[in-house]
Amino acid sequence: MSYQAPLRDMQFVLYELLKGDEILPALPGYEDATRDIMDAMLTEGAKLAQNVIAPTNTNGDRQGCHYDPESKNVTTPDGFKEAYKQFAEAGWTALSAPVEYGGQGMPHTLNTLAEEMMCSANLSLGMYPGLTHGAVNALIGYGTNEQKDYFLPRLISGEWTGTMCLTEPHCGTDLGLIRTKAEPQADGSYAISGTKIWITGGEHDLVDNIIHLVLAKLPDAPGGSKGISLFLVPKVLEDGSRNPAFCGGLEHKMGIKGSATCVMNFEEAKGWLIGEPHKGLQAMFVMMNSARLMVGLQGLGVAEAAYQVSLGFAKDRLQSRSLAGPQAPDKPADPIIVHPDVRRMLLRQKATIEGSRALAYFTALNLDIAHTAEDPAEREHADDMVQLLTPVVKAFLTDEGFFCANDGLQLMGGSGFTQDWPLEQLVRDARITRIYEGTNGIQALDLVGRKIGMNGGRALKRFFAMLDGFINDNPQAPNLPQLKAAIARLQKATMWLMQNGMSDREQAGSAATPYLRLFALTAVGYFWSRMALTAQQQLDAGSSETDFYQAKVHSARFYMDKLLPQTEALLTEIEAGKDSLMEMAVGQF
């Protein structure tokens, strides 16, 4: 699979749209994140993604991971180990980690851009270091100094990797049901016993040690989700002995076959409490929240890879003549990119990917501001945006990543369905992103059930204020009437939720998924209007990058004309309420 990192598009969003090159270096600790340095890093990251990571993707799918029941070891596909080694040695596992533990101390935003590239190049391989981030964040937030000093440098350097062990066979979404036990030991450690499933990178051969972060219950734990604690369980203990945390088998999956998805059996494995007893879920949600942003980026990254391949196909494949008359009269037929319906599928991908990228990078930038800005009000505002937008980024970018990859496959016809092209793998790989780290239905419930009501609706008010501020300040921005109509619909839907969802949680649950989608389409519409304005200003100023900026203006118009109208139907769907969902008795299905 060939992949070209869309550096120019990424720079457009990070610098021209979001002013990341002004905002980031002004944040305490990120003084080095100048445009020159970020550009140099992105260029290196692009080379690595294109030349080292991407070439491992197809074989990773074909060969998959293999489990040896004898040794309980897992072998990753050929080439993964070498590619991972280069990735770690070049410092990418350490990019946004604290300098005091060996990290490079760069902004999370930069890491977000790097992750997008890695996920485009090979989603399966990208997951091993991706999960390690979560373990690092949990340790930084809740570990003791001793734990930090010992584990963090090794995880940050990529010498070891990390996992998140949540799900059990009988519980995924509902973690209150977990049964894994932690018995206190005389030496202050705990004996962890239980079975976890869906453990990404639970066992593999990329590194010598794996640090599991495991949810379990202490003997005196209260019932439900308030009785869960978090433990750190290394595969190999400090004295070099093997901890009894063994892989019991691999899942056979539809996609991401190069990612080892393990059943993990903890057989009185030695572990240490992270944070306070019974407060493990809180620590886990710290990991989950940044993981959710990352999964959104996975959806985006796979969609970008799919778009590039299907665009190349549409330019090369000759089939039928343009409806406006032959465009390539010297050839037996015209390239299919001349056909309106093929353009519809290409532009759906292009406009969705670029608009979603703006939304995702904006959220990542706010994460950096929320963590490091000096002004508490600024931090609070940024954190509000992160809280509000994280479920939106996760759900919308993964739903759309899958749909866009499917559009890419579709426009390639039968070729898209064969293994001769990467599309069918990209579609299969993208499919999981809508499910893990909280299904997209759970993201929607998080948005309507927690985020929009948080602090009296403060985050949502600030979001609307940002949109209104843009419209008021920029009456000359393209496509404003369509954007205004979408915002009005989102406000109407929000009002409906306030009036109906507060008193009846099933009304909120019924509206959740269409509301998240309406929110996302409107948010992306706002970024498209801003991007079109930025591009138009460049064109008006006589920029030499005519094609690049014109494409932004055209894409914005396509988005407003052809995608944003979905908000009409979503509002109607929400306002229809819960009755037609809830009135069917179980026996009538």
Query: Where in the sequence numbering do the catalytic residues fall?
Result: 437
Taken in order 478, 481, 487, 493, the sign of the CA dihedral is negative
> Which CB atom, from 23 or from 405, has the smaller least distance to a copy of itself?
405
Query: Using H for helix, E for strand and C for coil, what is the string for 120-155?
Result: HHCHHHHHHHHHHHHHHHHHHHHCCHHHHHHHHHHH
> Which CB atom, from 144 or from 320, has the smaller least distance to a copy of itself?
320
> Which CB atom, from 413 or from 469, has the smaller least distance to a copy of itself?
413
Residue 584 binds to a copy of itself (criterion: CB under 8 A): yes
Residue 8 binds to a copy of itself (criterion: CB under 8 A): no
Angle, helices 108-121 vs 35-48, to 10°: value is: 20
Q: Which of 40, 99, 318, 465 binds a copy of itself (CB under 8 A)?
A: 318
Q: For the chain, how many residues are written?
A: 589
- Smallest distance, a copy of itself to C-beta of residue 121, A: 21
Query: Using H for helix, E for strand and C for coil, what is the string for 24-43?
Result: HHHCCCCCCCCHHHHHHHHH
CA distance 89 to 108: 19
Q: What are phi and psi of 575, to 5 degrees?
A: -70, -15
> Which CB atom, from 97 or from 508, has the smaller least distance to a copy of itself?
508
Which residues, 6 or more positions from 338, have their beta carbon under 8 angstroms from its beta carbon?
322, 324, 327
- Smallest distance, a copy of itself to C-beta of residue 31, A: 37
Q: Which of 81, 344, 371, 462 binds a copy of itself (CB under 8 A)?
A: 344
- Select from 361, 227, 234 the least CA-distant residue to 297: 361
Q: Which of 180, 440, 529, 538 binds a copy of itself (CB under 8 A)?
A: 440
- Select from 131, 132, 215 the least CA-distant residue to 168: 215
Using CA atoms, how far residue 453 sits from 188, 355, 495, 520, in Å, is 41, 26, 12, 17
- Smallest distance, a copy of itself to C-beta of residue 160, A: 25
> Which CB atom, from 172 or from 244, has the smaller least distance to a copy of itself?
172
Q: Which of residues 217-256 bind a copy of itself (CB under 8 A)?
A: 251-255
Residue 246 carries which side chain, given as an amino acid letter?
F
> Which CB atom, from 73 or from 410, has the smaller least distance to a copy of itself?
410
**CB contact at 8 A, 434 and 295:** no
Name the DSSP class of 168: B
The H-or-E segment that residue 86 falls in is helix 80-89
**CB contact at 8 A, 355 and 559:** yes
Q: Which of residues 398-417 bind a copy of itself (CB under 8 A)?
A: 402, 406, 409-411, 413-414, 416-417
Q: Which of residues 84-143 bind a copy of itself (CB under 8 A)?
A: none
Q: Which of residues 190-209 bind a copy of itself (CB under 8 A)?
A: 197-198
Residue 173 binds to a copy of itself (criterion: CB under 8 A): yes
Number of residues counted as binding a copy of itself (CB under 8 A): 101
Q: Which two tokens stand for residue 220?
A: 């005196």
> Which CB atom, from 148 or from 492, has the smaller least distance to a copy of itself?
492
Q: Which of 39, 205, 378, 573 binds a copy of itself (CB under 8 A)?
A: 573
Taking CB under 8 A as the binding criterion, the range among 47-55, 328-336, 359-367, 490-498 that sits at the site for a copy of itself is 328-336
Task: Count CB neighbours of 561 within 10 A.
Answer: 13
Q: Which of 212, 431, 451, 517 binds a copy of itself (CB under 8 A)?
A: 431
Residue 342 binds to a copy of itself (criterion: CB under 8 A): yes
Q: Which of 99, 495, 502, 581 binds a copy of itself (CB under 8 A)?
A: 581
- Select from 207, 212, 381, 389 the least CA-distant residue to 292: 389
- Select from 531, 515, 519, 516 the least CA-distant residue to 470: 531
Q: Which of residues 548-567 bind a copy of itself (CB under 8 A)?
A: 548, 550-551, 554-555, 557-558, 560-562, 565-567
Q: Which of residues 482-511 bind a copy of itself (CB under 8 A)?
A: 505-506, 508-510
Q: Which two tokens stand for residue 403?
A: 């749909």
- Smallest distance, a copy of itself to C-beta of residue 433, A: 10
Q: Which of 206, 445, 487, 520 binds a copy of itself (CB under 8 A)?
A: 445
Residue 534 binds to a copy of itself (criterion: CB under 8 A): no
Name the DSSP class of 117: H
- Smallest distance, a copy of itself to C-beta of residue 532, A: 12
**Residue appearing with tokens 């990390």:** 162
> Which CB atom, from 279 or from 578, has the smaller least distance to a copy of itself?
578
Residue 333 binds to a copy of itself (criterion: CB under 8 A): yes
Residue 154 binds to a copy of itself (criterion: CB under 8 A): no
